[in-house]
Structure 1
Amino acid sequence: MSTKISNWPAATPMWVDLGVDDLQAAKAFYADLFGWDFVAGGQDGGEYSLAHVAGRAVAGVGPKQDPDAPTVWTTFLASDDVNVTAKKISAAGGELLAPPFDVMESGRMTLATDSVGATFGVWQAGTHIGAERVNEHGALCWNELHTRDFASARSFYSEVFDVSYQDVTEDGLVYSTIRRPLDGREVGGIQHDVDVPSGTPNHWLTWFASDYVEGTANRAVELGSSLLMPVTESPLGRMAIIQAPQGEVFGIIDAPRIGE
Structure 2
Amino acid sequence: MPIRETPWPAGTPCWADCQVDDTTLARDFYTALFGWEIAESAPEAGGYLMALRNGRPAAGIGPKPPGQSMPSVWTTYLATDNADDTAAAIAAAGGNILAPPFDVMDVGRMLVATDPTGAAFGAWQAKQHFGAGIYNEPGAYCWNELHTDGYQRAQEFYTQVFGWSFTEIGDGENVDYATFALDPGGEPVGGMNDSTKNPGAGPAYWLAWFQVEDTDATLAAATGLGAKVLMGPDDSPFGRMGVLTAPQGETFGVIDTTQAAGAPS
**Offset at residue 41 of structure 1 (A):** 2.5
Match of 2:263 in 1: none
Paired amino acid for 1:132: G
Match of 1:186 in 2: 188
Q: Match of 1:111, SS?
A: strand
Preserved contact between residue 165 and residue 184 of structure 2 (Cα < 8 Å):
no
Paired amino acid for 1:159: Q
**Offset at residue 196 of structure 1 (A):** 5.7
**Offset at residue 44 of structure 1 (A):** 1.3
Match of 1:203 in 2: 205
Q: Match of 1:3, SS?
A: coil
**Offset at residue 173 of structure 1 (A):** 1.2
Q: Match of 1:44, SS?
A: helix
Match of 1:228 in 2: 230
> Which of 171, 174, 182 does residue 172 from structure 1 map onto?
174
Written as runs of structure 1 = structure 2, the 5 A alignment for 1:61-210 is 61-66=61-66, 68-170=69-171, 172-181=174-183, 184-194=186-196, 195=198, 197=200, 200-210=202-212
Q: 2 CA distance for matches of 1:124 and 1:182?
A: 23
Q: 1 CA distance for matches of 2:184 and 2:78?
A: 14
Preserved contact between residue 196 and residue 202 of structure 1 (Cα < 8 Å):
no
Q: In the alignment, does 2:219 pair up with 1:243? A: no
Q: Structure 1 residues 164, 256: closer, same or farther in 2, change over 3 A?
A: farther
Q: Match of 1:173, SS?
A: coil
Match of 2:17 in 1: 17
Q: Percent same amino acid among aligned pairs? A: 45
**Offset at residue 62 of structure 1 (A):** 1.3
Paired amino acid for 1:97: L
**Offset at residue 182 of structure 1 (A):** 9.2
Q: Match of 1:28, SS?
A: helix
Return 5+ residue gaps in structure 2 as ranges.
Answer: 260-265
Q: 2 CA distance for matches of 1:99 and 1:210?
A: 35
Match of 1:3 in 2: 3
CA-atom RMSD, angstroms? 1.6
Q: Kindly provide the CA deviation profile for residues 27-56 of structure 1, in whole angstroms up to 9, marking residues without a partner as x.
A: 000000000111122351121010001100
Paired amino acid for 1:241: V
Q: 1 CA distance for matches of 2:217 and 2:97?
A: 39
Q: Structure 1 residues 193, 31: closer, same or farther in 2, change over 3 A?
A: same
Q: 1 CA distance for matches of 2:191 and 2:215?
A: 21
Return 5+ residue gaps in structure 1 as ranges.
Answer: none
Preserved contact between residue 113 and residue 122 of structure 2 (Cα < 8 Å):
yes
**Offset at residue 254 of structure 1 (A):** 1.0
Q: 1 CA distance for matches of 2:126 and 2:98?
A: 20
Match of 2:36 in 1: 36
Q: 2 CA distance for matches of 1:41 and 1:112?
A: 24
Moved over 4 A (4+): none
Preserved contact between residue 148 and residue 196 of structure 1 (Cα < 8 Å):
no
Q: 1 CA distance for matches of 2:89 and 2:183?
A: 16
Q: Match of 1:6, SS?
A: coil
Preserved contact between residue 147 and residue 196 of structure 1 (Cα < 8 Å):
no
Q: 2 CA distance for matches of 1:220 and 1:196?
A: 26
Out of 206-215 and 62-71, give the one that drifted further: 62-71
